[in-house]
Amino acid sequence: MPNNSTFETLHADGLISDESFEKIKEQNANPLFSVHWEVKTLLYIGIVLLTSGLGIFVYKNIDTIGHQVILAFIALISTGCFVYCFRHKKPFSRAKVQTENAFFDYILLLGTITLVTFIGYLQYQYNVFGSNYGMATFIPMLLLFYIAYEFDHVGILNMAIVNLGLWVGVSVTPKQLLFAHTFNSETIIFTYLGFGLLLLLAAWLTQRFSFKKHFKFSYQHYGVYASLTALLAGYFFNYNSHFYIVWLLALFAAAGLIFRDAYQHKSIYFILLAVLYSYIGISGLVIRIFILMPGGDWIYPIFIYFIWSAVLLIRYLIKLNKKLQA
């Protein structure tokens, strides 16, 4: 917006009347103050307090209220929220759909939370899915993905992705393994590596086909963490075998692809993740080399390595960040 000196010049040249000039000065002297984030924060706090209060109320009065009444009450809230949302939603679009107001988003969020709570309550109290815990997480996951895309809600998409990770974890660690604590680490590593790569593929597809492109960050965020953590876990799990180098090379390859994509889109966040995971992998290799060196005096070299490598890493990231912002 032009400053006062610009308007004064226009007024002096006779291009702005005295009345208009006084109105402009009054508006500039009393600028509008945005309360957008304050309102959103209050709405978030309101939903958290409401759901927490309902939980405490149910917990303290479960014996007198009855499970059927509680389920009916939760279902009523969820149904009411979704009726409102379906009546006021905008038509579906492959692009981002802007909601008319923040109230709609939080009614949708409340309806989704109560829906998931309803399904979880059914399983906990009545064991409707039996011992099939995978199905108990699979159905809410499908509903969350549908709601996220139907109403274009990034927050619910994040809930769906987390639920997908939960479903994957439950599927590879059945009940007997959970209680026996006999996990197959390689199975879990490969499972979550596949989970992470699937999310990275989803992030690429959203960008490639321009289908909810603003969902890319959520898919990529969880995909990067899951895939690189799984590769790093595989590297350390095979640290004492000859296969460690395969996992290390795979880690560098994945981090390199993530780095290249982040650099193209000028995302310092994903660049930072790729660099840090690579740094951990390199540091593990350096420590391995120092330990295997003859003489056994490897503590001081490692200590010096971490000091200088951390300094160089920070300088590199600062320089890279300035380059991306140029």
pLDDT of residue 86: 94
Q: What is the DSSP letter of 221?
A: H
pLDDT of residue 178: 47
What is the chain's percent helix, strand, coil content, to nearest 5?
80, 0, 20
Q: What is the DSSP letter of 73?
A: H
Contacts of 128 (CB under 8 A, 6+ apart): 122
- Please tell me which residue, 73 or 19, carries the higher pLDDT value: 73
Structure tokens at 88: 């006021």
Determine the average pLDDT of the residues in 46-69: 70
pLDDT of residue 130: 75
Contacts of 126 (CB under 8 A, 6+ apart): 67
pLDDT of residue 3: 52
In terms of Cβ atoms closer than 10 Å to its own Cβ (0-12, 13-18, 19+), residue 231 is buried
State how far the Cα of 276 lies from the Cα of 278, in Å rounded to an integer: 5
CB 235 within 8 A of CB 247: yes
The segment with the largest mean pLDDT, out of 50-64, 130-144, 152-166, is: 152-166
CB 221 within 8 A of CB 249: no
**What is the DSSP secondary-structure string of 92-161?**
P-SS----S-HHHHHHHHHHHHHHHHHHHHHHHHH-TTTT-HHHHHHHHHHHHHHHHHHHT-HHHHHHHH
- Please tell me which residue, 138 or 68, carries the higher pLDDT value: 138
pTM: 0.79
Residue-wise pLDDT for 80-106, tens only, equals: 999 999 999 999 999 999 877 778 888
CB 190 within 8 A of CB 168: no
- Angle of helix 216-237 versus helix 244-264 axis, rounded to 10: 160
Residue-wise pLDDT for 126-154, tens only, equals: 888 877 777 888 999 999 999 999 999 99
Q: Is the dihedral of CA 38, 40, 41, 43 positive or negative?
A: positive
Q: pLDDT band at residue 309, thresholds of 50, 70 and 90?
A: very high
Q: pLDDT band at residue 176, thresholds of 50, 70 and 90?
A: very low
Count of residues in the chain:
326
pLDDT > 90 in the chain, percent: 46
State how far the Cα of 85 lies from the Cα of 111, in Å rounded to an integer: 9
Residue-wise pLDDT for 207-257, tens only, equals: 999 999 999 999 999 999 999 999 998 999 888 888 889 999 999 999 999
Q: Is 60 exceeded by the pLDDT of residue 325?
A: yes
Cβ neighbours, 10 Å, residue 117: 21
The segment with the largest mean pLDDT, out of 21-30, 94-103, 186-195, is: 186-195
- Please tell me which residue, 29 or 289, carries the higher pLDDT value: 289
The segment with the largest mean pLDDT, out of 22-26, 49-53, 113-117, is: 113-117
pLDDT of residue 136: 82
CA nearest to 269, candidates 197, 216, 194 = 216
Cβ neighbours, 10 Å, residue 151: 22
Contacts of 137 (CB under 8 A, 6+ apart): 163, 166, 167, 170
State how far the Cα of 58 lies from the Cα of 65, in Å rounded to an integer: 8
- Backbone dihedral region of 296: left (phi > 0), alpha (psi from -120 to 50 degrees) or beta? left
- Please tell me which residue, 150 or 326, carries the higher pLDDT value: 150
pLDDT of residue 1: 45
Cβ neighbours, 10 Å, residue 2: 10
Q: What is the mean pLDDT of the chain?
A: 83
Dihedral angle over CA of 235, 239, 245, 249, nearest 10: 20
Structure tokens at 160: 């769906």
Residue 172 phi/psi, 5-degree rounding, is: -95, -5
pLDDT of residue 27: 67
283, HSE (Cβ side, Cα atoms, 13 Å):
17
Residue-wise pLDDT for 253-302, tens only, equals: 999 999 999 999 999 999 999 999 999 999 999 988 888 777 667 788 88
